Amino acid sequence: MLFNSPFFIFIFLPIVVFGFYYLSRKGFFRLSIAWLVAASLFFYGWWNPIYLILILSSILFNYFIGRGLSRNKNSNNVLLLLTVGVFANVGLLIYFKYTHFFIDISNSLFNASYDIEAIILPLAISFFTFQQIAYLVDAYKGKAQEYNFLHYCLFVTFFPQLIAGPIVHHSEMLPQFSDNSRQQFILKNIVIGMTIFSLGLFKKVILADGLGVYATPIFNAAEAGSVLSFFEGWFGSSAYLLQLYFDFSGYSDMAVGLAAIFGIVLPLNFNSPLKSHNIINFWSRWHITLSRFIQDYIYTPIAISSTRFSMRNNLPGIPEFIICVAMPTGIAFFLAGLWHGAGWNFVIFGLLHGSYLIINQAWLAIRRWLGHDVNSHSIIGIFLGRIITLLAVLISFVFFRAESFDGAKNILIAMTSLDGMYLPETYLIHVTQVIDLTNFFALIGVEFSGSDNLLQRRMVLNTIIGFLVVFLVPNTMQIIGRYWDGYEKYSVSPLESFWKKGQWQPNIKWAFVMSIIFVLYLSSLSKISEFLYFQF
């Protein structure tokens, strides 16, 4: 079931909201939680009911392992219990997500032809597996003290964040589920929740899906081996980056909005990452909760062990940096790339971002060694940093989108091939309409030839508009501002004075804006599409 489907919006959601608040109003607080759990399982089972067995088995296994870890903190077997729990979760993920990938590698290495039947990837397995691994580690460290099974079920299955995140911590959600005051019907929660949901719906249906129709033909042509032009490469990759940006931003907004309807605050998972001035800043804004998981449960343990090794062996500067910073970062983002998908393109994506981060960390280390204040940034520095970061991210997401290495290579060749700088002949009318710019384009090596089958004028215009929206329009949390409880909590930067009058308020003007969004949504019901992060 999709957040942007008519069944979800007009049938499922109203029934669930009504049932939840009706039971809460009658004082049946445990029953209202059970209602949410049942609704969430129905939501998950809508895709494939057979995998309800999988998620319920995972919940039962991890709940009892977690209880065992919490109750036997001083036992000699507690580390063994944690190891069994983590390996069982990782093993389940490997079987469903990576079996075919590893078989393909084995066939290539040993010139074999092993084959097994297709394994259907269960929806959201990457998300609920990581979430429960974090719970087990927290239980081992004594940070997870909640033993209510019903609350734990909702922690794992809560439908606003079940399918594509955010990856939440046990300590963030369980206290909210236990707080009966959050189950009281508050009109403000409904209004703000629906507003955030509607803004996310607009990003998905109008912006993301609108760009996807242009990016897909270019990447399909690259997979087919077609020779692409310079502009087709750049606009195709840019259209996809913006499609993914608005798609994931839209989903993240919709998840936060849906949770707010039930009085629950989800952690922020997306915060204008393309406005980042370096790659470290990018990963603190893109898929924030995944970055947090990588930091807490992969990078930090490796870095701590590496630092101890470095101190014991008294390693000097560069070797110390390699052991304590570069190696943990490389391993963490190799695994982050694999988490996104079972394929070499995702490995390359992860290694690219690992390399970017290592270079960024090395640059900061050099600046500190020179006595610079690394927290101080000039306007020119921020501008150049944003351009470099955007280009680095754009290149990496070519591998993220392409179905094969050859497909990604063909896109990158087009982006770096200056002898393919031509525009369709139909563009000539636009460069001569006001001022004749044909000589200028000839001077910079741009020719006009061929048709605009791939590089459509609307694609170029929509891509440019997409970037303008990214860089000039405030994000959802800035629009909601002080009205959302999570605004101050997550320290979202305040709006510039130019945008302050555009902040959301509970008035007729914004009600009219929301109604326009729903009219636009209704006009696109024939083109309902999945969220891109569902495949991970």
Alpha-carbon dihedral sign for residues 224, 230, 233, 236: negative
DSSP three-state, residue 447: strand
CA gap 504, 513 in Å, rounded? 10
**Phi and psi for 447 in degrees, rounded to 5?**
-110, 160
CA gap 235, 220 in Å, rounded? 14
Catalytic residue from among 151, 169, 340, 353: 340
Give 23-29's long-range contacts (Cβ < 8 A, gap of 24+). Answer: 24/180, 24/183, 24/184, 24/185, 25/185, 29/180, 29/183
**Phi and psi for 422 in degrees, rounded to 5?**
-135, 150
Amino acid making up residue 33: I
Query: Can you give the length of the chain in residues?
Result: 536
Please choose, from the candidates 215, 209, 204, 220, the residue with its C-alpha nearest in 3D space to the C-alpha of residue 237. Answer: 215
448, β-bridge pairs: 423
Q: For strand 447-448 and strand 422-423, is the pairing parallel, antiparallel, or unpaired?
A: parallel
CA gap 372, 369 in Å, rounded? 8
340 catalytic, yes or no?
yes
Query: Within a 10 A sphere around the Cβ of 280, how many other Cβ atoms?
Result: 16
Per residue, the 3-state secondary structure of 62-82, as one string, reads HHHHHHHHHHCCCCCCHHHHH
User: What tokens does 446 get?
Assistant: 């741009």
**Phi and psi for 459 in degrees, rounded to 5?**
-65, -45
519 CB-near residues (< 8 Å, 6+ apart): none
CB-based burial label for 61 (10 Å; 0-12, 13-18, 19+): middle
- Diameter of the chain by CA atoms? 81
Alpha-carbon dihedral sign for residues 210, 215, 221, 223: negative
CB 303 within 8 A of CB 327: no
- Is the bond preceding residue 166 a cis peptide, omega within 30 degrees? yes
Integer angstrom CA distances of residue 226 from 80, 127, 211, 427, 532: 54, 36, 21, 22, 25
CB 36 within 8 A of CB 16: yes
399 CB-near residues (< 8 Å, 6+ apart): 345, 346, 348, 349, 352, 405, 408
State the catalytic residues.
340
